[in-house]
Amino acid sequence: MVNDPATISIIAPFLNEEENLPILYDRIAATMKTRPEVWELILVDDGSTDGSTDWVRRKSAEDRRVRLIQLARDFGHQIAITAGLDNARHDAAIVMDADLQDPPETIPALLDQWRAGYDVVYAVRTQRAGETILKKLTSALFYRLFARLTKISMPLDSGDFRLLDRKVVQALGAMREQHRFIRAMTCWTGFRQTAVPYERASRHAGRSKYEAIHLFRLAMDGLASFSGEPLRWFVKIGFLFALLGIFWFVCILLNWLLGLGYYPRGWVTLASLILVLGGIQLTAIGIVGQYISRIFEETKKRPLYFVADDTGPAEPRR
């Protein structure tokens, strides 16, 4: 049961969103105007080089519901979300993008489900404006592959846009691994979870900071952090090739014993086997290296981020 006046932290990481931030603020303020919740807006600067930070600093001085957390450099989107959650002090936190693809008008639906007793409320995309067919297909493939390999079922077409109850925020705060995949980490925590549909808009201004290479790295971080299955794949592949090698040897031996007269050229067989097995071994070494690299980074126990500037705790009001 949620007791009023409930307090909400809305967290929006940003990177060079000078044109979008004023509109984001206006739409959030208009949406929350009719709600009973008391709210604050935490804007996390992940290394902006345009006028975004200056605008947030001015807005924070004008409206104490707005708080700027400026990271010392670009630590990455998932770390920026973590910084926002670490500084969320209220009954629930809502994470959303600052580029207006996550419409603030969906926030009331998230809050209603939270008031109904859910601890995690995902926003699930029914439409994805401005995205290519290739991106949609690869996204759907990744979610299915991730669920199969990790046994963690993330809702299809969900992103980072979600509401988290205070106890979920605290659970995520206790998980300090360097390679973070907030969506999967949220699923892993458990708690009561549900989804609300929304139509994802195209960008209002600017261009996406999530290019193909960043999405690929995020996918690899998610798989490596939550599954050892890729390592087990190569045990199975190695066993399969051992069986094939034994079968091929038996075939050649029978051919010689029965005098059938067919003897394959040795160099062809050897060259093929070397190329196939060499490729598999290099891939396996690369995957093992990824896991070892993550172990090395975790053992250093470095802070996830450093804060260059903080306008101080917001003073939420209606």
Q: How far is CA 219 from the centre of its chain?
A: 8
C-alpha–C-alpha distance, residues 24 and 11, integer Å = 12
Using an 8 Å Cβ cutoff, are 106 and 196 in contact?
A: yes
Q: What per-residue confidence (pLDDT) applies to 272?
A: 64
Per-domain residue ranges of the chain: 7-207+303-310, 229-300
C-alpha–C-alpha distance, residues 18 and 318, integer Å = 26
Q: What is the pLDDT of residues 105-157, one digit of tens each?
A: 999 999 999 999 999 999 988 876 666 676 667 766 776 776 666 677 777 77
Q: Can you say whether residue 21 is alpha, beta or left, with left for phi > 0 and alpha for psi between -120 and 50 degrees?
A: alpha
Please report, rounded to a whole number, the percentage of residues in the chain having pLDDT higher than 70: 71
More confident call, 267 vs 244: 244
Q: What per-residue confidence (pLDDT) applies to 271?
A: 64
Query: Is residue 317 pLDDT above 50, yes or no?
Result: no
Mean pLDDT of 21-32: 93
Q: What per-residue confidence (pLDDT) applies to 128?
A: 66
Q: For residue 105, which of 22, 20, 197, 42 has the smallest C-alpha distance?
A: 197
Query: Is residue 314 pLDDT above 60, yes or no?
Result: no
C-alpha–C-alpha distance, residues 13 and 44, integer Å = 4
Residue type, 307: V
Q: For residue 119, which of 12, 8, 194 has the smallest C-alpha distance?
A: 194
Q: What per-residue confidence (pLDDT) applies to 207?
A: 60
Q: What is the 3-state secondary structure (H, E, C) of the chain?
A: CCCCCCEEEEEEEECCCCCCHHHHHHHHHHHHCCCCCEEEEEEEECCCCCCHHHHHHHHHHHCCCEEEEEECCCCCHHHHHHHHHHCCCCCEEEECCCCCCCCHHHHHHHHHHHHCCCCEEEEEEEEECCCCHHHHHHHHHHHHHHHHHHCCCCCCCEEEEEEEEHHHHHHHHCCCCCCCCHHHHHHHHCCCEEEEEEEECCCCCCCCCCCHHHHHHHHHHHHHHHCCHHHHHHHHHHHHHHHHHHHHHHHHHHHHHHCCCCCCCHHHHHHHHHHHHHHHHHHHHHHHHHHHHHHHHHHHCCCCCCEEEECCCCCCEC
- Sign of the CA dihedral with 106 first, then 108, 110, and 113 last: negative
Q: What is the pLDDT of residues 199-240, one digit of tens each?
A: 887 665 556 555 556 556 666 666 666 666 666 666 677 667
CATH no. for 7-207+303-310? 3.90.550.10
Q: What per-residue confidence (pLDDT) applies to 192?
A: 92
